[in-house]
């Protein structure tokens, strides 16, 4: 075979027309296609549509990778899946907290099939106000994240008197961040004709342990490690009249305080009603609770990511834990005292302290504090030894 010259081997190509044939010819050579598909795919500077069509058939899809369809319609890329946007502006991170039985579980399909409808997002998660950090979640079954936490060991607490004024000789301590909101609340009450005073504020773990051992009334004091008073953001107020009780219930949220233990919620909170017991949670969250008619405990159960708890295993005193024993979730009545298993921990309240009686709607039913007709309202109670 005679040798070909460089010009014959590499003929000069027209850059304005020849690029149209390079791609299909290269594909044909790589694929090892023989004539007629592998021969010249250019005629008068244009690609033969017939050749491209047959080339596409051989490759398995007409005009693969050429950005065209058989009718000249541009190839549409596959649509991207729609991803639900993340909730913005929140620092709350999921965290498992004991006891798990208290948390609502995800819905499951009856058949267990993977084709079941997706479970809805956690109830209320996107509608609660944004929190800078998770709030301590305590109740008869839940302890503080650090059971014996003591903000008094730091400079987080300051000393005040019963009017909420700075007083180094005062007997009350509260966290610095609630000083101004608490003063504003007391001043607003004074302007409305109600002389409210602080009766109790921060308690250490040891203080709560001594109080729990001293108080004999069922459900009158929380177990050590389970009390909101250990936070330094909770106070008991002395309410001189029924009008003052009503005023506080109506206006506490305006200053960022929530009533932790309102009436009729014993089964939910685990404690007797205490209209004097308020906890600072911030104005937005406090107002949201009032608007929805919920306690902070119900908000935590609605959206567990709002709160955080400990396991109670680090509590120094055995009094911090109370197994249910033979008591069931349905509970039982012993006179006016209601005792039941509250999420795995024993809880008791004396229904008589709120003018109620303990009973069940039917034999063997769920025991609860139930309202009974009475001739007169019970006398106003000042705060003392609250949870």
User: Is there a contact between 226 and 253 (Cβ–Cβ < 8 Å)?
Assistant: no
Separation between Cα atoms, residue 336 and residue 371, nearest integer Å:
12
Q: What is the CATH number of domain 130-319?
A: 3.30.1380.10
Residues in the chain: 387
Helix axes 179-191, 242-251, angle to 10 degrees: 130
Separation between Cα atoms, residue 223 and residue 318, nearest integer Å:
10
DSSP codes, 89-111: S--------S-GGGSPPPP--SS
- DSSP secondary structure letter of residue 18: T
As to burial, measured by CB atoms within 10 angstroms (0-12 exposed, 13-18 middle, 19+ buried), residue 259 is buried
Per DSSP, helices labelled H in the chain are 6-9, 19-31, 49-59, 179-191, 205-214, 242-251, 266-269, 283-292, 296-302
Per-residue pLDDT of 51-101, as tens digits, reads: 444 444 444 444 333 333 334 333 333 333 322 233 223 333 333 333 333
Separation between Cα atoms, residue 103 and residue 302, nearest integer Å:
9
Structure tokens at 40: 């010249």
Closest CA to 161 of 151, 170, 174: 170
Q: What is the mean pLDDT of residues 338-361?
A: 95
Separation between Cα atoms, residue 84 and residue 118, nearest integer Å:
13
Q: Are strands 234-238 and 172-175 parallel, antiparallel or unpaired?
A: unpaired
Note the pLDDT of residue 364.
87
Separation between Cα atoms, residue 373 and residue 355, nearest integer Å:
9
User: Is there a contact between 331 and 212 (Cβ–Cβ < 8 Å)?
Assistant: no
CA 186 from chain centre, in angstroms, equals: 31
* Residue corresponding to tokens 């051992």: 213
Mean pLDDT value across the chain? 76
Separation between Cα atoms, residue 233 and residue 279, nearest integer Å:
6
Separation between Cα atoms, residue 333 and residue 331, nearest integer Å:
7
Q: What is the pTM of this model?
A: 0.66
| 37-41, 299-303, 344-348: range with lowest mean pLDDT | 37-41
In the chain, % of residues over pLDDT 90: 57
What H or E segment, with its residue span, contains residue 347?
strand 345-350
Q: What is the mean pLDDT of residues 9-21?
A: 47
Separation between Cα atoms, residue 386 and residue 263, nearest integer Å:
14
- Residue 106: is its pLDDT beyond 60? no
- Residue 337: is its pLDDT beyond 80? yes
| 146-160, 170-184, 188-202, 264-278: range with lowest mean pLDDT | 146-160
Note the pLDDT of residue 338.
97
Structure tokens at 179: 């000083």
Question: Quick check: helix, strand or coil at residue 231?
Answer: helix
Bigger pLDDT: 8 vs 167: 167
Q: What is the mean pLDDT of residues 195-205?
A: 97
Active site residues: 274
Separation between Cα atoms, residue 53 and residue 47, nearest integer Å:
11
Note the pLDDT of residue 132.
84
First and final C-alpha spacing in the chain: 106
Closest CA to 92 of 359, 299, 369, 371: 299
Domain locations along the chain:
6-59, 130-319, 321-371
Note the pLDDT of residue 340.
97
Structure tokens at 56: 């596409």
Separation between Cα atoms, residue 60 and residue 112, nearest integer Å:
40
Closest CA to 125 of 98, 159, 164, 86: 86
Per-residue pLDDT of 228-285, as tens digits, reads: 999 999 999 999 999 999 999 999 999 999 999 999 999 999 999 999 999 999 999 9
């Amino acid at each position: 075979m005679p040798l070909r010259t460089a010009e014959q081997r590499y003929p000069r190509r027209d850059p304005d027309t020849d690029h149209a044939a390079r791609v299909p010819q290269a594909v044909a050579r790589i694929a090892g296609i023989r004539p007629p598909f592998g021969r010249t795919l250019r005629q008068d500077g244009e690609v033969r549509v017939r050749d491209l069509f047959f080339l596409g058939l051989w490759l398995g899809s007409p005009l693969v990778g050429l950005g065209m369809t058989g009718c000249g319609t541009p190839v549409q890329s596959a649509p991207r899946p729609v991803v639900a946007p993340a909730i913005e502006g929140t620092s709350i991170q999921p965290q498992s907290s004991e006891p798990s039985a208290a948390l609502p579980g995800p819905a499951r399909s009856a058949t267990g099939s993977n084709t079941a409808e997706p479970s809805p997002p956690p109830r209320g998660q996107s509608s609660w106000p944004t929190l800078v950090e998770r709030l301590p979640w305590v109740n008869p079954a839940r302890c503080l994240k650090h059971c014996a936490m003591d903000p008094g060991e730091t400079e987080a607490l300051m000393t005040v008197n019963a009017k909420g004024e700075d007083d180094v000789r005062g007997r009350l301590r509260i966290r610095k961040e609630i000083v101004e909101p608490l003063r504003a609340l007391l001043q607003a009450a004074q302007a409305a004709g109600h002389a409210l005073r602080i009766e109790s504020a921060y308690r250490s773990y040891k203080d709560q342990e001594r109080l729990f051992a001293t108080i004999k009334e069922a459900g009158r004091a929380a177990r050590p490690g389970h009390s909101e008073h250990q936070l330094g953001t909770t106070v008991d107020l002395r309410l001189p009249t029924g009008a003052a009780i009503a005023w506080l219930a109506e206006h506490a949220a305006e200053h960022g305080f929530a009533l932790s233990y309102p009436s009729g919620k014993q089964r939910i909170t685990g404690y007797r009603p205490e209209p004097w017991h308020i906890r600072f949670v911030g104005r937005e969250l406090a107002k949201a609770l009032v608007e929805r008619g919920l306690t902070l405990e119900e908000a935590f159960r609605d959206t567990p990511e709002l709160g955080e708890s400990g396991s109670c295993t680090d509590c120094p005193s055995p009094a911090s834990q109370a197994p249910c024993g033979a008591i069931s979730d349905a509970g039982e009545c012993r006179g006016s005292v209601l005792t039941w298993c509250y999420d795995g921990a024993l809880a008791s309240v004396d229904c008589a302290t709120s003018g109620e009686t303990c009973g069940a709607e039917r034999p063997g039913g769920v025991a609860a504090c139930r309202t009974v007709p009475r001739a007169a309202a019970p006398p106003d109670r000042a705060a003392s030894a609250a949870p």
